[in-house]
A and B are shown apart, each in its own frame.
Chain A
Amino acid sequence: MTPAKEFLENLKRTPQNLRESMLRNGKAPESDRERSQSTFHNFFLHLQSVRVHRHSLRFGYTFGLGLILTASFVVLTFTGILLMVYYKPGAELAYDSVKDIHFVVPAGRFIRNIHRWAAHLMVLAVFLHMARVFYTGSYKRPREFNWVVGLGLLVFTLGLSFTGYLLPWDQLAYWAITIGANIANSPREVTDAIGITVWFDPGRFQKQLLLGANYVGQEALIRFYVLHVAVLPLALTALMGVHFWRVRKDGGLSRDESLPAPPARIGDADVAVFAPNKTYGLMAVVRGRTPEVDRAPEGTVASWPNLMWAEMAAFLFTIAVTLVLGYFFDAPLKEMANPAIPENPAKAPWYFLGLQELVSYSAFMGGVGIPTIVLVGLGLIPYLDRDPRGVGVWFGGPAGRRTFWQSLAYGLLSVLALLVFTVNFGWLRAWFPAIPQIAIIVVNPATVIVALYAAWSLWVLRRTASIRLSAVALFTCFLAGFIVLTAMGSIFRGPNWHFYWWPSQWPTH
């Protein structure tokens, strides 16, 4: 073959070679072996194991929450990049640019709505996902650290949400962030109360770190923008990678190992299983001349296509939900930020309104103290509860189910009773006007409810002698408190943070 002919021949075959080199397998897989190879050899697919346990595909176990989270993050990334094309992070420009996105940018209004709704969905899903993992005992050995990584993801998700809240630069954003920044400043409450602010002022440091000034202005906006579009998404992506990697390395999704395994499936047929009696990393099980032809590890099916269908479904479900919500409900955009006119009530996004209710008792306890206690407590759960039983079983069995319902009732009733009391009779300062601030920081409805919950959990621990049940009790109580306080802050608090049965009763102000 002459060089010229070879050149032409190669040129002719370039499209085919390009495709083969790009896909490595070169074509859609047809057999189990090829599917395994495709999963294993593809950059985007190698995140999945080649085979997946039937149990992991059960909707009733995971509700697809992890996938919905991933999908909403992908949606948020795409819509966020699109919004960045038109958004201008300047105090003078931001609001107008968001208005332009709303009014004239092609598909801009829809894309911004989707971005907002996907953010809501992601925060909701991250809470539900955490509850699911907790109640199925999936944080237990060897998955303890992934639980901690998950907590990090929760914090980053909330951080993304919080930083994104400022960017429209409207009244809602301005005042919610003013409050948020002053929560960062709230350690001052304590340092002032014990008189050491002059030497040690972590509150002011935190606030200035966040805002770059003592007020919410251009410096704060650009900081929030950088956090929102670069720092936090990168951190979240990195941590997500770790989270996924650990899910696989820690043995896939948790399941009840004591149950008999369902049959495995190869091709279209269920086959006998082999139970490996020694531990090894399984790269791939494929049809062909292998030691275990026509037999597969217990209860597994091929990831391609079964897991991929689950992922596809979760992804499209997320997209459909955000599209429908985004079509009907516009993302809020109030008047342009005006430091002279406080928004009343100035409410944070819904998932922070539970905290805002606590903050209305004590900024430090509600905004810093209790969230820290909760996060540290959550992080310690897998290290305190080392009992390996009950993994993969909802509530760990009937005893846990009972504890759950009792704790739910206790958690709801105690927080409701405390709120009814506080709304009707006020708190310490209403009775003793001269009471020192430190007393209110220590004893306020927020700390009382935490104490009540801790007492209940200790009582459960004493009664059942089970750390797991005690953890279920405490987690459930906090969940109940979170729900009630969030509802309180979202629905029942109106202008001047007064109690109203319904927003329609708010006075025009």
Chain B
Amino acid sequence: MPADPARSYKWVTVVCSLVSLLFLIAAAVRENISADWRAHQADFRAILEAKSKDAAGRAAARRLPIEIRQVTVPALHAVDRCVSCHLGIDDPRMADQPNPHRTHPKRLLAIHRVEKFGCTVCHQGQGAALSFQEAKAEDYFWDYPLLPAALTEATCASCHNPRALPAGSADKLVLGMALFEQKGCNACHKLDGKGGPLGPALNNVGLKTKHQFVRANLKGSQTTWNWLAEHFRDPAGIVAGSLMPSPALSQPQVEALTIFMLSLRARDLPAEYLAPDKIDEQYARLHPPAPDGAALFHRYCAACHDTGLYSRWDKKFQRFVPGIRNAAFIRTEDDECLGENIREGRPGTRMPGWGPKAGGLSEAEVAALVAYLRTSAPAMPLPPAPAHGDAHRGGTLFFQECAGCHGVDGKGLIAPALANPVFQRAATDAFIAQTVRLGRENTPMPAFGRAGFSETDIGDLLAFIRGWQPPARSQQP
């Protein structure tokens, strides 16, 4: 009797069928019996039954179906299944229960009804998921993982003006906003179109995903908030070569700034979700009140110029930052010249332009800044400059006396650049001549007038310096 030709195939069929059967049953068990949310709902049912005061309540609790629950909020494009485990979230009787059964803290859901808001609009996370790990969605393919409880204040700003909220609601966020202004972050970072160009603009930082941050040096949790916090602690440790100073922040300050960064999110929310104070805040941004020069100086200038009373050596920039509130300086500059410098900046240096087209300050704000600088000293009528002399001789003088600080090509070393278009345009001959004569108090610029420079020497120097670019504004007192 020859062997059955199909024998081996029958064996394969038996084995494969049994394997298939096994895994089908395993998959059915995994999905229908051992899911976490089923256990949580069974627990909740028991708690509800224990808390019921009468037989009807107990019967109702026992009838509570075990099923997937979800909050659908079409206006927010949200389908949040968090309530499949957090069944007691809006039930005040569950305040004494452990998570996931506990009532939402602070009675917040009384004013933010779950049916209207869902969960993820405030907490982020993957609302569609049915297990905690997938809902939390850290290290998961999801753009906005669950915010840690300590940082949840950040999302209040989506609908509220945080400063208009009652005390105790968003204190850390308000602190972060204040720190942002105090620490002069705007000097380098644009926000809503205003600020310096040195660092990245911060609009919608809260909507960025972790893939938009360079995380090569980030240890630990790869979330955006961990990146922000670590970056506030040590900017150059996270972004190699960063010019951002280490601001020496305490842990609560780091947290507050992180929350503020996460709150920067322009979400396209329906108007019915916006609090009136949020609309007021947006209105105020378009119609700003009269600008306050001191606050503007603090917010946009102080990060580099410090108090502005003295020039200071900046290690990161490797040059002197002029003391722009120095009375000796302010006395020699007229308002027009100050305004021009603020509007245009100093191309080629770290000083950016702050006019409406660059740093985003309005003309009114520039004027307020000039007025604030002017408080140091009134503009002094300058003695007239000598007539331009021999540029060749002026060049020789320049190389001997000036090039050491201002650079042989006038591009500036530790002292400001003179071969700079804005300087050439803004500075009058009278201003240059007076500065050479009297020097600049509280800076390394000596008074050459007292060191034996004659008016002819100064005329020759002027001719040489003006050789870099013809003056835009000719002789004016």
Contacts and interface: CB of A to CB of B under 8 A. Distances in A.
Interface in A216-266: 263, 265
B6 A310 contact: yes
Give the bracket for the number of chain B residues in contact with chain A: 35 or more
Nearest to A508: B215
Nearest to A324: B23
Interface stretch (B126-134, B229-237, B468-476): B126-134
Interface stretch (B98-106, B206-214, B449-457): B206-214
A162 B218 CA distance: 36
Nearest to A104: B68
B215 A316 contact: no
B20 A319 contact: yes
Contacts of B212: 341
B8 A110 contact: no
A289 interface: no
B313 to A, nearest CB: 36
Interface string A491-509: 0000000000000000111
Contacts of B12: 313, 316-317
B16, B28, B81: most-surrounded residue (chain A CB, <10 A) = B16
Interface string B64-79: 0000100000000001
Given A103-B128, A341-B211, A312 B13 contact: yes
A79 to B, nearest CB: 13
Contacts of A57: 5-6
Contacts of A335: 141-143, 209, 211
B383 interface: no
Contacts of A313: 8-10, 12-13, 16
B31 A334 contact: no
Interface string A304-339: 011001101100110110011001000011111010
Contact of A100 (B27, B128, B216): B128
A338 B143 CA distance: 10
Give the bracket for the number of chain A residues in contact with chain B: 35 or more
B20 A170 contact: no
Contacts of A509: 211, 214-216
Interface string B195-219: 0000000000000010110111010
A24 to B, nearest CB: 24
A59, A301, A309, A509: most-surrounded residue (chain B CB, <10 A) = A309
B222 interface: yes
A401 interface: no
B27 A327 contact: yes
Contacts of A265: 2, 5
**Interface SS of chain A:** helix
Contact of A103 (B10, B16, B130): B130
B1 interface: yes
Contacts of A30: none
Interface in B11-29: 12-13, 15-17, 19-20, 23-24, 26-28
A265 B5 CA distance: 10
Nearest to B141: A334
Contacts of B31: 106-107, 109-110
Interface in B42-79: 68, 79
A34 interface: no
B11 to A, nearest CB: 8
Contact of A309 (B6, B81, B216): B6
Given A265-B2, A335-B143, A320 B26 contact: no
A110 B32 CA distance: 12
B203 to A, nearest CB: 14
Contacts of A106: 31
Interface string B217-247: 0100010000000000000000000000000
Nearest to A308: B6
A336 B141 CA distance: 8
B128, B129, B211: most-surrounded residue (chain A CB, <10 A) = B211
Contact of A316 (B5, B17, B134): B17
Contact of B222 (A110, A170, A319, A508): A508
A57 B5 CA distance: 8
B24 A341 contact: no
B141 A320 contact: no
Given A99-B128, A103-B130, A301 B19 contact: no
A335 B10 CA distance: 45
Interface in A85-126: 96, 99-100, 103-104, 106-107, 109-110
B205 to A, nearest CB: 14
Contact of A312 (B2, B9, B214): B9
B27 A336 contact: no
B226 to A, nearest CB: 12
B121 to A, nearest CB: 16
Contact of B81 (A104, A327, A336): A104
A54 interface: yes
Nearest to A310: B9
Nearest to B212: A341
A316 B126 CA distance: 37
A265, A305, A335, A338: most-surrounded residue (chain B CB, <10 A) = A335
Interface string B313-355: 0000000000000000000000000000000000000000000
A136 B8 CA distance: 23
A54 B10 contact: no
Interface string A333-360: 1111010010000000000000000000
B68 A341 contact: no
Given A170-B141, A508-B218, 16 more contacts: A99-B128, A103-B129, A104-B128, A104-B130, A107-B28, A109-B31, A265-B5, A309-B13, A313-B9, A316-B16, A320-B20, A324-B23, A332-B141, A333-B141, A335-B142, A341-B209
16 contacts: A57-B5, A100-B79, A100-B128, A103-B134, A104-B128, A306-B5, A313-B12, A316-B17, A316-B20, A317-B12, A320-B23, A323-B24, A335-B143, A341-B211, A508-B215, A508-B218
3 closest Cβ contacts across the A-B interface?
Answer: A309-B6, A316-B16, A313-B12
Interface of B: 1-2, 5-6, 8-10, 12-13, 15-17, 19-20, 23-24, 26-28, 31, 68, 79, 81, 126, 128-130, 134, 141-143, 209, 211-212, 214-216, 218, 222
